[in-house]
Structure 1
């Protein structure tokens, strides 16, 4: 059972870092530090969008329209953190 929880923690960590990389990359693209005309940057950006867009779309359905401000990554990071706390308190801490 503990190994399954550790695998879940690992998956949550990977998702956490993918979201962080996506947010930082979006800032760098918006501030024109990175250019989407570069093939490697475009491929990484497209891959991250394909991974995260289905999750973000579900979160954005519940959020009010904030104009140009996208809070979906923040909500996702908070949800991942909350899930880690719940998993830790219910499965790891009692042992």
Structure 2
């Protein structure tokens, strides 16, 4: 495989792994805000929550539109994480990542 193409796939593999962590941190942060452990009146917390919301919402919104309403439970981050792991597994199995 071309070295440039291999480098692009390796970069994509790492970015997908980092995005999984962004999804996890966003979910934990939303739980902390929902249970009033931290509040958004603190400017730093508000900015952090806004950054994670802007990073995750474009990916999670289409998934939420497809999934049925489960009350207060949002499983869209789990679905996206499973999709990311599936894509990463395909990259490894097809030899795109060494």
Scaled by the length of structure 2, what TM-score is found? 0.88
Give the deviation of 1:75 after TM superposition. Answer: 0.4
**Unaligned runs of at least 5 residues, structure 2:** none
Decide whether the 8 Å contact of 1:2 with 1:91 is kept in 2.
no
Asked if residue 81 in structure 1 is aligned to residue 58 in structure 2, the reply is no
Give the deviation of 1:34 after TM superposition. Answer: 1.1
**Unaligned runs of at least 5 residues, structure 1:** none
Scaled by the length of structure 1, what TM-score is found? 0.90
Q: How many residues align?
A: 94
Give the deviation of 1:92 after TM superposition. Answer: 3.9
| 1:40-55 equivalences in 2 (<5 Å) | 40-55=44-59
Partner Cα separation in structure 2 for residue 55 and residue 34 of structure 1: 25
Decide whether the 8 Å contact of 1:5 with 1:91 is kept in 2.
no
1:91 alignment partner, SS class: coil
2:94 alignment partner, SS class: helix
1:24-52 CA-partner distances (Å, limit 9, x unpaired): 11111122211111000000101111111
Hey, what does 1:60 align to over in structure 2?
Answer: 64
